[in-house]
Amino acid sequence: MPIDYDDMMQSGATGLSARYDEKDVMLYALGVGMGRDPLDEKELPFVYENNGLKVVPTFASVIGRGEAPPASQRMPQKSSINFAMVVDGERRITVHKPLPPKCDVIADERYLDILDKGAGKGAVLIQERKVREAASGEALFTIVSSIFARGDGGFGGKPQGGPALHEIPERAPDLVTEADTRPDQAFLYALSGDRNPLHRDPAFAKMVGFPRPILHGLCSYGTACRAVLSTLAQYQPERIKQFDVRFSKPVFPGETLVVELWQDGGTISYRASVKERPGTVVLNNGLCQLA
């Protein structure tokens, strides 16, 4: 059944509860490449709890991932999305308070807009998720994301809209760093909540148009955050107040991200390409705001 715009715009959910603990935090850090060198004392606090666990800011992306809303708050039956054809489009995390190593949280979700790229071209679903601590009620973070539903265009909606993209400076980057991924990276990252077979099942990936499983877009996003943390943020996650990206092309597990960084005061611009496929930009319009 095609998208019903008015129906979906009224289908938000409030008061969604979730919790995470130190195990979830460490598993996510491993899933985006932290701890490759077990003797690296700068990365150890992200994967080992005994000396004060640090949280990668993009961990916010997986908090409550996979938690189903109550039956009364599920997407109305008038609309359906072919989730087999869905990929990440854009992501913005605004961090209001450094993430604690464990926490009970409450989330409110809503659609901000739904764009129609046309029949055979897909639809863009723009969502907002606000998350707060359950105990104190204090805001933790806000996520604005867009997902590209490749099989759901042509419902008669407007084609343009959404948040403006951050412009990458035209000058040469101030710093270039590499961030690796492992061939089994998608299997590890999937344990943080996104078990879409597109990222692990070769037959499924081919069925939906990819030559082989692709890495989760949000894993590439977290890997880019690792690149910023390990360089300009000096492994201080509390300094990262905002982290944005546009997903341009897929990454295959085992490929290396070449991350270009531009610094203008507390504003970090970034872009990532794949070392094994020169010239292939996979993350674009990246923005990191540092305290």
Least confident of 127-141, 147-161, 168-182, 249-263: 147-161
Tell me the average pLDDT of the chain: 91
- Cite the active site residues: 194, 199, 214, 217
pLDDT-derived band at 72 (thresholds 50, 70, 90) equals: very low
Report the sign of the C-alpha dihedral through residues 69, 62, 287, 55, in that order. positive
Distance CA 94, CA 232 (A): 18
pLDDT-derived band at 67 (thresholds 50, 70, 90) equals: low
246 pLDDT higher than 80? yes
79 pLDDT higher than 70? no
Distance CA 132, CA 59 (A): 14
Q: What is the dihedral of CA 264, 239, 111, 19, to 10 degrees?
A: 160
For residues 2 and 261, which has the higher predicted lDDT (pLDDT)?
261
- 79 DSSP assignment: -
Percent of residues, the chain, with pLDDT higher than 90: 75
Q: Which CATH superfamily is domain 5-290 in?
A: Hotdog Thioesterase (3.10.129.10)
Task: Residue 24: count other Cβ atoms within 10 Å of its Cβ.
Answer: 19
pLDDT-derived band at 76 (thresholds 50, 70, 90) equals: very low
